[in-house]
Amino acid sequence: MSITFIKSFFDTYRLSFLEIWQDLFTKYAIKNKPEYAQYLSKKIHHRIIFSAPMLVLLFSVKLTLYFFSLSLEQFLLFFLIEFSLIDGSLLAMLISSVFTKNLNESYYKNMFALASFSLLSCVLVSIYCATQHIYFPYEIVGMSVLLFLWIFNTPFKWIFIIPFIALIMYFSLTIPLNHHPTRENITAIIALTISFMIGLFYSTMNSANEYQLYQSFRDAEAQAMTDMMTNLYNRNGFMHHFEQHKKIAQREKKSIYIAILDIDNFKRVNDNYGHDIGDNVIVMVATKLTELYRRPLDLVARWGGEEFIVSWCEDNPQAIPIMGKKICQTIANSVIISPSKQLSVTVSIGIAQLNDNDTSFSEALKRADTALYFAKNNGKNQYSVA
């Protein structure tokens, strides 16, 4: 029984391991690259700031080891090389991150360029040291590489080539064709290879988890802001995007209008025809509103129950009554087919403009609600402008 259990365990592990690598190399495809780059930029910024003590410690350890293992001339030479090529790049990353406010794709590319320069310089310095038979601890190379991969945490295809380039250069510079590798040569090769392989494995495996985490976060965010029945924004989604649209409209000096729509006699529809037909009515109204409001700064959301909210920009105040009338006519002319008969529904609308002296969105919403109640009490199937 124990043998069967062990065999089953290893079979499960083997299949899971193969599935992971299949996901990495066949299914791993980044979508929405600008958004993902911005997401990574925020994480990288946090990691770089968080890594500041590690960078200082790394520099201090290297400085101490060089001081005790090299002559004064070699120490000064390598101090200049290390600082200008490797630690200078890492320091530039830290300083740039401290003063950067806009964490976008450009920031990510700049940080990656600096870190790449530092990483490649680290490889070249280690190879030069080996050719000169200066064997400082190779863990320093691994520390620099792992620090880079920990910060960026994503696989770059060219990184896979670096170990092979480093080994080829090392062999060509240190081992003549008529000589065999020495123990020091083999130690250097093994240390360099292991450092990169550990970093590559960690980076590759963790990058897939990073992107899956990002996708899960995006899916959860979308679900939290989306009404599942209509696929419109819900109240949270509307408020989130409204603030963004409001800033754009104010920058472009456009007037913002909001409208609250309520389906007339919706309780009677549910009581007489059932909740399935009631759901169809809600979906139909959502579809018609989406067809009417298609511009970049138009927002349509389900506010709750049988209520919807719309916001849009309009430079011509005379167009507001036309739009209100068009919404009422479009929905009134739409037909829902029930098992017993055809059903027409109407909506009442309250419209208000977002004024400059409004201290909050709720003030404009309150005026739109007042206008909606007026339309309801005045006979329904109509609009009212506050």
Query: Would you call 29 helix, strand, or coil by DSSP?
Result: coil
* pTM of the complete model: 0.55
DSSP state of 360: S
Q: Helices (H) and strands (E) in the chain — how many of each?
A: 14, 7
- pLDDT value, residue 153: 52
Domain that holds residue 266: 235-385
- pLDDT value, residue 295: 84
Nearest to 50 by CA among 181, 150, 177: 150
Nearest to 338 by CA among 272, 261, 248: 272
Total number of domains constituting the chain: 2
Mean pLDDT rounded to a whole number for the chain: 73
Q: Is residue 1 part of a domain?
A: no
Cβ contacts of 2 within 8 Å, gap of 6 or more: none
Shared-domain flag, residues 68 and 165? yes
Shared-domain flag, residues 207 and 240? no
Other residues' Cβ atoms within 10 Å of the Cβ of residue 287: 14
Confidence of residue 196 (pLDDT cuts 50, 70, 90): low
Q: Which of 196, 223, 250 is the last residue of a domain?
A: 223
DSSP output for 157-212: GGGGGHHHHHHHHHHHHH--TTSPPPHHHHHHHHHHHHHHHHHHHHHHHHHHHHHH
Shared-domain flag, residues 160 and 51? yes
- pLDDT value, residue 126: 63
Shared-domain flag, residues 283 and 192? no
| 266-299: pLDDT as tens digits | 888 888 888 888 888 899 899 889 888 888 888 8
| 304-324: pLDDT as tens digits | 889 999 998 888 888 888 888
Task: List strand residue ranges (DSSP E) for the chain, in order.
Answer: 256-263, 299-304, 307-313, 335-337, 342-344, 347-353, 383-385
Shared-domain flag, residues 242 and 215? no
Do 25 and 91 touch, CB atoms closer than 8 A? no
d(CA 193, CA 186): 10
Give the angle 19-24-30 at the CA atoms, nearest 5°: 135
- pLDDT value, residue 225: 84
| 209-235: pLDDT as tens digits | 666 677 777 777 777 888 888 888 898
| 67-117: pLDDT as tens digits | 777 777 777 776 666 666 666 777 777 778 778 777 777 777 777 777 767
State the amino acid at position 248 in one-letter form. Answer: I
Cβ contacts of 179 within 8 Å, gap of 6 or more: none
| 122-161: pLDDT as tens digits | 666 666 666 666 555 444 444 455 455 555 554 444 454 5
Other residues' Cβ atoms within 10 Å of the Cβ of residue 57: 12
Shared-domain flag, residues 306 and 357? yes
Confidence of residue 23 (pLDDT cuts 50, 70, 90): low
d(CA 204, CA 157): 10
Shared-domain flag, residues 298 and 153? no
Residue 336, pLDDT above cutoff 80: no
Percent of the chain with pLDDT over 70: 60
Q: Is residue 305 part of a domain?
A: yes
DSSP strand pairing (256-263 vs 307-313): antiparallel
Residue 177, pLDDT above cutoff 50: no
DSSP state of 355: -
Q: Is residue 301 part of a domain?
A: yes
Shared-domain flag, residues 160 and 200? yes
How large is the angle between the packed helices 105-131 and 33-50, nearest 10 degrees? 60
Q: In the Cβ-directed half-sphere of 300, how many Cα atoms lie within 13 Å?
A: 18
Judged on CB neighbours under 10 Å (0-12, 13-18, 19+), 296 is exposed
For 78, the enclosing helix (H) or strand (E) is: helix 72-81
- Candidate from 8-12, 29-33, 59-63, 194-198 with smallest mean pLDDT: 8-12
Q: Is residue 168 part of a domain?
A: yes
Confidence of residue 119 (pLDDT cuts 50, 70, 90): low
Strand order from edge to edge, sheet including 307-313: 299-304, 307-313, 256-263, 347-353, 383-385
Collect contacts of 183-192 with beta carbons under 8 A, ≥24 apart: 184/133, 184/135, 185/130, 187/135, 187/138, 188/130, 188/135, 188/138, 191/138, 191/139, 191/141, 191/142, 192/123, 192/126, 192/138, 192/141, 192/163, 192/166, 192/167
Q: Is residue 291 part of a domain?
A: yes
Q: Is residue 15 part of a domain?
A: no
Shared-domain flag, residues 131 and 252? no
d(CA 328, CA 236): 26
Cβ contacts of 152 within 8 Å, gap of 6 or more: 44, 112, 115, 203
- pLDDT value, residue 32: 64
* Tokens describing residue 319: 């167009």
